[in-house]
């Protein structure tokens, strides 16, 4: 049997790496992208003696007319008992996604109510660009302006007609839960003044809501006494490596906090990995699309 030459060995190695890469891409596009799950977390954020409540956290739907599986998962989620539904932006994946988004979200009937903030993709339709650009830092407003517009005004009007509270740079209250929401910091639409709480009746829980978890927005909520902060935008990294975690965040959040529950000063921060992706990057790896059911309980 002839010995394998170094050149032949290198060729076999390259072919093996290429085959493994193709298999990973096929798995990420054909399997994991639509392998939805509901994550459950317990958050000890209430004062002792307060009654618990459940918060269903949705984010980054990126709905298009072709996303039938995602819409079906949302319909199943609507049957999940919850006191409050919070959606942290990027509902639209294209202008034609408005109808599917409103149809799916209209099925939610939580006990206290539902609220949402807008994300950059609710204002701007996606466009193709080099994915490697995310390793150089967050995407830019200039890139967004090269895209077409999404029907965000119709989205807001439709949500409000369904009974949702849209909190983009607004405060609100649902039952005994006090809410403040910022418009998307990723495109510099946030107003930190909205984090200053109003006076009046004490709330069981203060929730700060924002699409992109930039530090300046999280800090504004935390120093004003919001004990639960909810955000999306990161897609959990979208691509994660075992033992490494997320490779990018597309904001200034540390990579270790790009998905799930962590502390942010005196507050609890929950960042959703979201349910969708851009239609130009329909791929996830080691980062399944998800919604989260948060059981908020008294702290010890």
Give the pLDDT score at 93. Answer: 96
Residue 27: exposure state from Cβ atoms within 10 A (0-12, 13-18, ≥19): middle
Give the pLDDT score at 26. Answer: 77
Packing angle, helices 152-161 and 98-105, rounded to 10: 20
Ranges of residues in the chain whose predicted pLDDT is under 70: 1-4, 6-23, 29-30, 128-147
CA–CA separation, 33 vs 283, rounded Å? 6
Domains defined for the chain, CATH in brackets: 7-298 (3.60.21)
Give the pLDDT score at 126. Answer: 84
Block residue for tokens 């490779």: 247
What is the average pLDDT value for the chain, to the nearest integer? 89
Sign of the C-alpha dihedral, residues 48, 51, 52, 56?
Answer: negative
CA–CA separation, 239 vs 220, rounded Å? 29
Give the pLDDT score at 131. Answer: 57
- The DSSP code sequence of 243-292 is TTEES--SSSS-GGGSSEEEEETTEEEEE---S---TTS---BS---EEE
Count the helices and strands in the chain (H runs, E runs): 7, 14
- The DSSP call for residue 72 is H
pLDDT tens-digit map of 197-237: 887 778 899 999 999 999 999 999 999 999 999 999 999 99
pLDDT tens-digit map of 247-288: 888 999 999 999 999 999 999 999 999 999 999 988 899 999
CA–CA separation, 118 vs 270, rounded Å? 17
- The DSSP call for residue 163 is T
Q: Report yes or no: 155 and 180 within 8 Å, Cβ to Cβ.
A: no
Identify which of 140, 124, 134, 142 has the alpha carbon closest to the alpha carbon of residue 249: 134
Give the pLDDT score at 31. Answer: 75
Find all residues with CB under 8 Å of 258, minimum gap 6, and list them: 234, 236, 237, 245, 246, 249, 271
| φ, ψ for residue 217, nearest 5 deg | -75, -45
Give the pLDDT score at 117. Answer: 98
Q: Report yes or no: 196 and 182 within 8 Å, Cβ to Cβ.
A: no
């Amino acid at each position: 049997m002839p010995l394998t030459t170094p050149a032949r060995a290198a060729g076999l190695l390259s072919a093996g790496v290429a085959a493994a890469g193709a298999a990973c891409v096929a798995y990420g596009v054909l399997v994991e992208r639509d392998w939805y799950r509901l994550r459950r977390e317990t958050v000890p954020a209430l004062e002792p003696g307060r009654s618990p409540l459940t918060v269903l956290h949705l984010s980054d739907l990126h709905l298009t007319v072709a996303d039938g599986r995602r819409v079906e998962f949302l319909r199943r989620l609507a049957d999940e008992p919850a006191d409050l539904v919070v959606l942290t932006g990027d509902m639209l994946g294209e202008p034609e996604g408005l109808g599917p988004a409103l149809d799916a979200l209209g099925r939610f009937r939580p006990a206290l109510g539902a609220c949402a903030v807008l994300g950059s993709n609710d204002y701007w339709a996606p466009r193709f660009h080099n994915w490697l650009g995310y390793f150089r830092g967050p995407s830019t407003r200039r890139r967004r302006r090269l895209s077409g517009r999404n029907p965000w005004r119709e989205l807001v009007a439709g949500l409000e007609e369904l009974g949702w509270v849209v909190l983009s740079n607004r405060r609100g209250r649902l039952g005994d839960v006090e809410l403040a929401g910022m418009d998307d910091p990723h495109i510099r639409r946030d107003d930190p003044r909205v984090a200053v709480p109003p006076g009046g009746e004490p709330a069981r829980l203060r929730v700060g809501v924002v699409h992109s978890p930039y530090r300046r927005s999280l800090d504004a909520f935390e120093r004003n006494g919001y004990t639960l902060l909810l955000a999306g935008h990161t897609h959990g990294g979208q691509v994660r490596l075992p033992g490494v975690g997320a490779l990018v965040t597309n904001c200034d959040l540390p990579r270790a906090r790009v998905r799930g529950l962590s502390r942010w000063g005196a507050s609890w921060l929950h960042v959703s990995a979201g349910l969708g992706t851009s239609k130009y990057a329909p791929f996830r790896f080691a980062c399944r699309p998800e919604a989260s059911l948060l059981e908020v309980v008294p702290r010890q």
